[in-house]
Amino acid sequence: MLEGIPLAFVSLTVSTLGLPGMAVVFWYVDQRRTERMLAEHKAQLDNVLKVYRADMDRVTRYYEDNVSLVKGYERLAEDLSGVITLSTRTLEAMVQKIEHNQWCPAAREGVGKR
């Protein structure tokens, strides 16, 4: 049997049609082999494309997650900036009160002696 073709049919075709008949049989066998290889290649390519698509979806999610992390970091940086500004103002007020301390009697007496 030659690629699903009975040997009796092949010998009948070759004996009836001669060399051109044999060429047709070989062409038919080669065509079926080519179609089978093409179908296998298509199946492999589909599998590769599915894996690639899944990988690209995962990479897309990485970028989306990174964007949300950056937005969260920006909010944290703004909050931190507010805390630093408030702390700086509070420290400046403390320094001013220490330098101009009028509630402590010793400091009030020391002002005149300077």
- Residue spans of the domains in the chain: they are 7-113
Q: Are 33 and 3 in contact (CB under 8 A)?
A: yes
Per-residue pLDDT of the chain (114 residues; tens, 9 = 90+): 456 677 787 777 778 878 887 787 788 888 999 999 999 999 999 999 999 999 999 999 999 999 999 999 998 988 898 899 999 999 999 888 877 776 777 766 665 554
CA distance 50 to 71: 32
SS3 87: helix
At residue 5, φ and ψ (nearest 5 deg) are -105, 125
CA distance 93 to 100: 10
Predicted TM-score (pTM) of this structure:
0.48
